[in-house]
Structure 1
Amino acid sequence: MGRLTGGDPSLLRRINSAVVLRALRGTDEPPTLTLTDLAHATGLSRPTVEGVVEGLADAGLVAEDTQGGGDARRGRPARRFRFCSEAGHLLGVEIGPHRVAAVLADLTGRTTSTMARPVAEDAEAGRRLEHVRTLVADLLRRAGVARTSLRAVGVGSPGIVEADGRVRLGTALPGWTGLPLGDRLRRSFRCPVLVENDANAAALAEHWKGAAAGSDDVVFVLAGLSPGAGSLIGGRLHRGFGGAAGEIGALHLLGREATPERLLSTTGEPLHPLDEEAVARVFELAREGDLRATEAVGRFIRRLVHDVAALVLALDPELVVVGGWASGLDGVLDPLRHELERYCLRPPRVALSELGEAAVATGALRLAVDHLEERLFAVEGTTVGG
């Protein structure tokens, strides 16, 4: 691409297109606007807006709203235009120890269909990915959406994930360490595939649609096989230099061999199988007054607090959101608040996840939405909608 100057007409067209498209796409429910509305909203002249809208319509991103009314002008209603949210689709995928899930959305990020299926904990990597492919195919078939309609796919996965989608370290899933997850999944799609750590994805989801909406400094704790956390600083995801930020589950490797299956044991033997149902049963027994279960829950919460406090002291978040197993377990919040008050100089607010088990897939969808917006509103490189 050649050097652009302030008077470069192609640059001006891209800027104008991005401005008009942003006004039409909106932030929640896309509006329908007249050319005059768009001129007021963007500060562009009406003839300029008209030319931009024509170009966006040719690209399939804008259409005339034939259902709307509008202000009458000279006896005729004004033409109104809308963003074509149906011009493509976005997909968010969760790959977890016990299930795979997917969320399908239009180009505004509005969910249109979801699907989830169980996966065996010991499924090897190839088999697990086959479950993902089958799930996506069935979801698209049920929704009546062609695979070619997908504009971007986001994926949330356990482990330390590098920028290209390779899992540098992943102990929660068999055969996951070193897996070129992004490359393997890109073979199934004709659009960009973005892979992120599951706790990071869940943090994005809670900030977008959950308990952290309106808070820009957030720690999201995913309490699972190995506790992990995602952090937002100033509203932006903090991944760290190598993508390992928030791997609080590694703290037991530093001389603290208190793994979750031992912490939650009521028999002296490691809890097996270590899954959501087994953990929920331990918490239920504790509520019923079982002494060993009460002690196990206390150990689990103290360990969780120790891990979370390390992040809170380092990052000073406004809010800590607890998800994973703990989001469905009563009695976690008050002990966590109490212990954080003991450990932390400025205790944050603490809340349970509002998205529950949908958090990771929803965050993966947010990755796809962000990628689309970068392309739609870009003013350097390819044309808008390319």
Structure 2
Amino acid sequence: MIGSAPALTRVAAQLRDGGPASVTGLARSLALSRTAVENAVTELAALDLVVDAPKPESRGAGRPARRLAFPADAGVVAGVDVGTTSIRVALADLAGTVIAQRTVTGFDLITRPAQRWSGLVDGVTELLAEEGIDRSALRAAGVSVPGLVNDEGRVITSSIIPDWSGAALGAQLSEAFGCPVAVDNDVRLAAVAEHHLGAARLVDDLIYLSVGNRIAMGLVLGGKPRRGVHHAAGEIGHLAFGDLGGPTGQLSWRRAPTAAEVFRLAGAGDAEANAEIDAFIGALARGIATVAMTVDPAMIIIGGGLSLARDRVIDPLRHDLHRVIGLPLALPVVGGLLGADASVHGALVHAYTQHRRAVYGIDDLPVPTVRPLVGHGTVVDP
């Protein structure tokens, strides 16, 4: 708990999250002695984590009290979401505010591994250059990838990018970027993002289901992402939803080649398309119910491209799920708030969480609240 943390951590967090303050103001708001605050400020100055705030205009006699500020612009943290259709990159300052974001074309499986690697690295270095930020300012990075990833950032297996299976992605990217890199599964990090800054900020037990070109699941239990002993928690697309797709969780449609086309036909009154969507939602509800009754979450979040069809997917899914479960449970089913940007924001949260010392020089400073780029759209067409 931050209230029982050392004065150093509490003062740093207060300046970072609460804005500029005087020593007296910090002592009052944190219930610390002035001496404790002054000692903490001295330590923070040695870590380059405190600067003098701009002096306000004087409104009376006397010298205004010295105000201190957290230097949010002293470094950056990167988040990267790697996919075959797109690579999303975001840069955030030390206070967690996203300051730049870009999406570039992803790579298909025909692309040579070396080209894929350079595309991933270039996405970060080019955005840094565009923003006029020196690469030395990059303190840590988080990367989301499709596949099973262990605690060291090694890809155990990936059915989406098979030749990355076994790759020590974390170590290789750390060398390329010159900073620590935390790597994890893309859907797990999307769940982390929705818990941290999206639809599930007020709950600590949730199921996140990504429904787009494939079906995949992420779990947050007790406020922490559930990885499992084999790092495979949530990898149930081909088990719970096997009737809807292939072994990788890839969805297949009968009435038209893509979900977007099936939904367009349904909207135009096509009876076969509407019947296929109804059957799809029913199968989805049965699969979700199996997991929901196993972990008993406080909320189910639907992400991915099909989450955009809220009236046609989420409302009937909520009805079917409650019917399948058959118990009087208050189990909200909601659409994710972060859209296609969920995993890249989750990668940022993961970087702050795993590499606090690299980012701040302090091990126990709480993860900042990641704030999306103002005016940047997070919703994409399904």
- Whether the TM-score (by the shorter chain) exceeds 0.5 is yes
* Whole-Å separation in 2 of the counterparts to 1:295 and 1:167: 39
- Deviation of 1:262 (Å): 6.4
**1:300 and 2:280 are equivalent in the alignment:** yes
Q: Which sits farther off after the overlay, 206-215 or 61-70? A: 61-70
Give yes or no for contact 2:215–2:251 (8 Å, CA) kept in 1.
no
Which deviations, in whole Å up to 9, do the C-alpha atoms of 1:306-341 show, x marking residues without a partner? 332222111111111111121223411112101211
Identify the residue that residue 309 of structure 2 maps to in structure 1. 329
Alignment of 1:326-365 (within 5 A): 326-330=306-310, 331-344=312-325, 345=327, 346=329, 348-365=331-348
Candidates 137, 140, 144, aligned match of 2:132: 144
Which deviations, in whole Å up to 9, do the C-alpha atoms of 1:181-233 show, x marking residues without a partner? 21221221121100111111111111122111212211111113431111111
Identify the residue that residue 63 of structure 1 maps to in structure 2. 51
Give yes or no for contact 1:309–1:340 (8 Å, CA) kept in 2.
yes
Give yes or no for contact 1:161–1:195 (8 Å, CA) kept in 2.
yes
- Deviation of 1:129 (Å): 2.1
Identify the residue that residue 79 of structure 1 maps to in structure 2. 66
- Deviation of 1:163 (Å): 0.7
Which deviations, in whole Å up to 9, do the C-alpha atoms of 1:119-160 show, x marking residues without a partner? 233235433222111111211111111111111101111111
Give yes or no for contact 2:149–2:185 (8 Å, CA) kept in 1.
yes
* Whole-Å separation in 1 of the counterparts to 2:302 and 2:112: 29
- Deviation of 1:252 (Å): 6.5
* Whole-Å separation in 2 of the counterparts to 1:372 and 1:36: 31
4+ long deviations beyond 6 Å: none
Q: Which amino acid aligns with 2:71?
A: C
Q: Which sits farther off after the overlay, 189-198 or 321-330? A: 321-330
**1:184 and 2:172 are equivalent in the alignment:** yes
Normalised TM-score (structure 2): 0.85
Q: Which sits farther off after the overlay, 290-299 or 15-24? A: 290-299
- Deviation of 1:343 (Å): 2.1
Give yes or no for contact 1:221–1:323 (8 Å, CA) kept in 2.
yes
SS at 2:239's partner residue?
Answer: helix
Q: Which amino acid aligns with 1:315?
A: V
Q: Which sits farther off after the overlay, 290-299 or 106-115? A: 290-299
What are structure 2's unaligned runs of at least 5 residues?
366-382
SS at 2:163's partner residue?
Answer: coil
Q: Which amino acid aligns with 1:56?
A: L
Give yes or no for contact 1:125–1:174 (8 Å, CA) kept in 2.
no
Identify the residue that residue 380 of structure 2 maps to in structure 1. none
* Whole-Å separation in 2 of the counterparts to 1:333 and 1:139: 36
Identify the residue that residue 100 of structure 1 maps to in structure 2. 87
Cα separation, partners in 2 of 1:223 and 1:257, compared to 1, 3 Å: closer
Identify the residue that residue 384 of structure 1 maps to in structure 2. none
- Deviation of 1:359 (Å): 0.6
Give yes or no for contact 1:337–1:350 (8 Å, CA) kept in 2.
yes
Give the root-mean-square deviation of aligned CA atoms: 2.4
* Whole-Å separation in 2 of the counterparts to 1:128 and 1:310: 37
SS at 1:334's partner residue?
Answer: helix
Q: Which sits farther off after the overlay, 170-179 or 199-208? A: 170-179
Cα separation, partners in 2 of 1:321 and 1:262, compared to 1, 3 Å: closer
Alignment of 1:265-304 (within 5 A): 265-266=254-255, 271=257, 278-304=258-284
What are structure 1's unaligned runs of at least 5 residues?
1-13, 272-277, 381-386
Q: Percent identity?
A: 34
Aligned residues: 353
Give yes or no for contact 1:252–1:258 (8 Å, CA) kept in 2.
no
Alignment of 1:153-192 (within 5 A): 153-192=141-180
Identify the residue that residue 383 of structure 1 maps to in structure 2. none
Q: Which amino acid aligns with 1:126?
A: A
Identify the residue that residue 354 of structure 2 maps to in structure 1. 371
- Deviation of 1:71 (Å): 9.2
Normalised TM-score (structure 1): 0.84
**1:320 and 2:307 are equivalent in the alignment:** no
Q: Which sits farther off after the overlay, 209-218 or 356-365? A: 209-218
* Whole-Å separation in 2 of the counterparts to 1:350 and 1:70: 53
Give yes or no for contact 1:87–1:107 (8 Å, CA) kept in 2.
yes
Cα separation, partners in 2 of 1:68 and 1:230, compared to 1, 3 Å: farther
Q: Which amino acid aligns with 1:194?
A: A
- Deviation of 1:265 (Å): 2.2
SS at 2:107's partner residue?
Answer: coil
Give yes or no for contact 1:165–1:180 (8 Å, CA) kept in 2.
yes
* Whole-Å separation in 2 of the counterparts to 1:257 and 1:66: 59
Q: Which sits farther off after the overlay, 305-314 or 349-358? A: 305-314
* Whole-Å separation in 1 of the counterparts to 2:338 and 2:118: 26
Identify the residue that residue 14 of structure 2 maps to in structure 1. 23
**1:264 and 2:244 are equivalent in the alignment:** no
* Whole-Å separation in 2 of the counterparts to 1:181 and 1:307: 32
- Deviation of 1:45 (Å): 2.1
